[in-house]
Amino acid sequence: MHIFQQLKSLEERCRELSDLLSSPDTAKDPKRFIPLSKEYRDLQEVMVEYKRYQKLTKSIEDDEEIVKTSSDDELVEVATREVEALKKEREESLVRLQSLLQPKDPLDEKNIIMEIRAGVGGDEAALFARDLFRMYSKYAESHGWRLETLNHHPTEKGGFKEVIFLVAGKGVFGRLKFERGVHRVQRIPVTEASGRIHTSTATVAVLPEAEEVEIEIRPGEIRVDVFRASGSGGQHVNVTDSAVRITHIPSGIVVSCQDERSQHQNKVKAMKVLRARLLDRTRQEEEEKVARERKSQVGTGERSEKVRTYNFPQKRVSDHRINLSLYNLDRILGGDLDSIIDPLRKALGGEES
C-alpha cells in the first residue's frame, strides 16, 4: 500500500533528522535548527502511531499462529477473541495514520496575534469588541493557552476601539484561523430607551506569529517614534514618553504599543506585531497568486467578508460560511467555541492554506 511506503520514507527521514539535530553545526545555526526541530516534532506524532500499528500487527500475527498450531481449545478461543479485538484497534490506528498524513497548513502549530477592532456602531461596536475579546480569552483558558495583551485602546464606557493580543499554545493558529473577518451583533443596547435592536460590527484579524528568523527586519527599514501613552478620554496613564510607534518604511505598515511602562518592552511588543503583519501580508500575497492561477477566489477569507452574526433576542449564533446556526449564544460568548470551530475546520480546512 502507498501509505506504508510513505511511512517507511518518513521513518528514514526521522532518523536523518535525529542525526542532523545532534550535530553541533546544526545547533549553532538557528535558521537551520528551528525548522528541522519543528519537522522532527511533527514527525514524532506519526512515528508513535506507526509503532503502535506495527505492535498491533505483530500481536495479531502471534495470536493467529496460536490459533493455527495450538491443540488447547481454551487457548485457541482466547486467542481468537484477541485477534478480533486487535484487528479493530489496528483499523482505528490506520484511520489515525491516514489522518496524520493528510497535508497540513505549515502555520497551524503557530501562536497567533489576534486584532479585534470596533467597526460600525459607535459605543455599541466597542462593547461588542470587548465581548469578543472576553470570548477568545475564555476559549484560550479552556485550552490551556497563554494570552498576553500587546496593545489596547479602551473607551469611556468600557469597550475597546482596538485590542491586540498574543495567544500561545499548541495548534492555536490551526484552531482560530477561520475566526478572521467581520463579526456582526444584533441586540438592544443598554442605552436604547425605545428597545430597538441595533446592528453593530467588529473586525477580527488572526495573524500567525512570526519568528525573527522567518521575517528579517533591518534597522534601516523602520522608523521608531516615541510618545506619551494615554488612556480613554485623553487621560495620561504615563508621565514619560514610553509609548512606541514603529513604521515599516518598505510596506508602510504602522504599529503602536503603549501597554507597558517601559519603552523597551513596548518596542519589543510592537516588533512582534509588525513581524506577524508582514508574515500575514506575504501569506496573503501567496494565496492571491494561487487563486489567480486557479482562476478562483473561493475560500480567500478576505477580512471584509461578514463571517458570523450574534443575535441576542434569538440567542442565536450563525456562521454564514457554512450555513450553521446554533441557539446557545451565552455558552459561545462564554468561550464554548468548539461547537462552531470544529464544523468550520471540517468544511473549510481543505480550502485554506
Report the pLDDT value the prediction gives residue 326, as an integer from 0 to 100.
Answer: 97
- With cell 486584532, the residue in question is 115
Three-state DSSP state, 75: helix
Element (H, E) at 16: helix 2-21
End-of-domain residue from the set 43, 69, 100: 100
Specify the CATH number for the domain of residue 78.
1.20.58
**What is the pTM for the complete model shown?**
0.65
Domain boundary among 68, 100, 132: 100
Domain range for residue 332? Answer: 112-293+304-348
Q: Within this chain, do residues 158 and 202 fall inside the same structural domain, yes or no?
A: yes
Distance, in Å, from the CA atom of 136 to the CA atom of 147, rounded to the nearest integer, reads 9
CATH number of residue 341's parent domain? 3.30.70.1660
Indicate whether 298 belongs to any domain: no
Burial class (CB in 10 A: 0-12, 13-18, 19+), 294: exposed
Give the residue ranges of the chain where pLDDT is below 50.
Answer: 233-236, 294-304, 350-353
* 116 and 230 together in one domain: yes
CA distance 328 to 199: 19
pLDDT digits (tens, 9 = 90+) for 209-259: 887 767 889 889 999 999 887 665 444 455 567 899 999 999 999 999 998
Beta bridge partners of 221: none
Mark which of 100, 127, 147 sits at the end of a domain. Answer: 100
Task: Give how many domains the chain has, as a whole number.
Answer: 2
- Judge if 16 and 38 occupy the same domain: yes
Cα gap 114→308, rounded to integer Å: 17
